[in-house]
Structure 1
Amino acid sequence: MGLLDNLKAKLGPAKDKVSGLAQQHEDKIQHGLDKAAQTVDRRTKGKYSDRIQSGTGKAKEAVDRFSHKNDPGPDAGGGTTPPAGPPPAS
């Protein structure tokens, strides 16, 4: 086993735990991002507002993707599985 394989094996459980925490506290994380963006915008006197909004949006999207990583997507067949065909003839 190579170094990267060992690293992936050890980080796997940590990644799952962080994802679970992100799901559990997603609203707090989003609120914190908004609050930080407002503080930075105020301190820079609006000079970088567009960049701050862009960065905040990207950070929120990343948190959203990370926290919903284990949720089935719209293509996962959530209730839209086609009915099974007739049983095979013996």
Structure 2
Amino acid sequence: AGRNAYTTDRPLGVRPVPEGGVAIGGQPNLDTSQAGITDKIFGKTEKVVGKMTNNPEMHERGELREAGGRAAAEGHARAPHD
């Protein structure tokens, strides 16, 4: 059994949801959101800064924003599975 989204604890409590994708706390019944170009840029920046400063929460927030936009990073929507 390797490490994957189902077997590994992730920062911010991000978990897969039954509808597909991931959400903060694994909240079900959330709409899926898509990232626009601005969200992708901000998300990538947060990921890099989070890695460089050893801040896993910031890195995870950046991944969510890059994939699912601001709504996913704030916990109001689910992001496509990363």
Give TM-score, length-normalised by structure 1: 0.28
Larger fraction in helix: 1
Give TM-score, length-normalised by structure 2: 0.29
Structure number, greater radius of gyration: 1
